Amino acid sequence: MKAVGRWFKWGLLGLIALGFIWLFWLVLWVMYWGYFNPGTTRFMEIRLGELRAKNPDAVLRQQWVPYRQISLHLKRAIIAAEDAKFVDHEGFDWEGIQKAIEKNQKKGRFVAGGSTISQQLAKNLFLSPSKTFWRKGNEVVITLLLEHLWSKQRIFEVYLNVIEWGNGVFGAEAAARHYFGVSAAGLGPAQAARLAGMVPNPRFYDRNRNAPGLGRKTAIILARMPSAVVP
């Protein structure tokens, strides 16, 4: 029994040590990306792997643009569509999470996540699309790091440059050119609202650009955009 107890103690200490190493690694990367733009993300790597399984020569379309070179219309549209309280919360919109839970219970299936922009960015930078408790736990930790180590503007700038917007399409610049043939700076209100409406399911809307649901979402986002507060 004593031997079992010792193994348990050392195993527990080992897990704690691994946890601290993981946290230290996260802190270093978050601090680094606070000043240097990410060249890729975990989400991009996963999608590229999926594309190259079908076509070894596949590449992602993504081009970094500074925050000031992204249309104000798109910034307002994303805030209106994804996280109206972005500038006020500290990473989590508890009211939004509660509404998402109630909506999922009512539908009897997962239809809403309630994730903030900060949470979505945490997932995109470091994690996979899987919906597991382990991933959600990591997402919480990374979200807290982002909120405490980055400004809201930096969080939003990175988000706009790395989120998925279609099949192999990432970031506002690539999305603007892919769908409308303009730069991210040149997006108009309706175009911005349409792009914002695609965010929850970008690959589906890339294949189904005239989906009726997207048109309805675009109209709702357009109506909300004037009141959206951007960092």
State residue 199's pLDDT score. Answer: 96
Token code pair at residue 32: 């680094």
Residue matched to tokens 């979505």:
120
Mean pLDDT over the full length of the chain: 88
State residue 103's pLDDT score. Answer: 60
Residues 93-139 have pLDDT tens digits of: 777 666 655 565 555 544 455 689 999 999 999 988 777 777 788 89
Residues 86-106 have pLDDT tens digits of: 999 988 877 766 665 556 555
State residue 134's pLDDT score. Answer: 77
Q: Which DSSP string corresponds to 26-79?
A: HHHHHHHHTTS--S--HHHHHHHHHHHHH-TT---B-----GGGS-HHHHHHHH
Helices then strands, each counted (H, E), the chain = 11, 2
Which CATH homologous superfamily contains domain 39-227?
Answer: Biosynthetic peptidoglycan transglycosylase-like (1.10.3810.10)
Task: Read off φ and ψ for residue 169, nearest 5 degrees.
Answer: -110, 125
Report helix, strand and coil shares of the chain as percent, to nearest 5: 65, 5, 30
Q: For the chain, what are the domain ranges?
A: 1-33, 39-227
Burial (CB count within 10 angstroms: exposed 0-12, middle 13-18, buried 19+), residue 139: buried
Task: Mark 161-185 as b/e (b = at least 16 C-beta within 10 Å).
Answer: bbbbbbbbbbbbbbbbbbbbeebbb
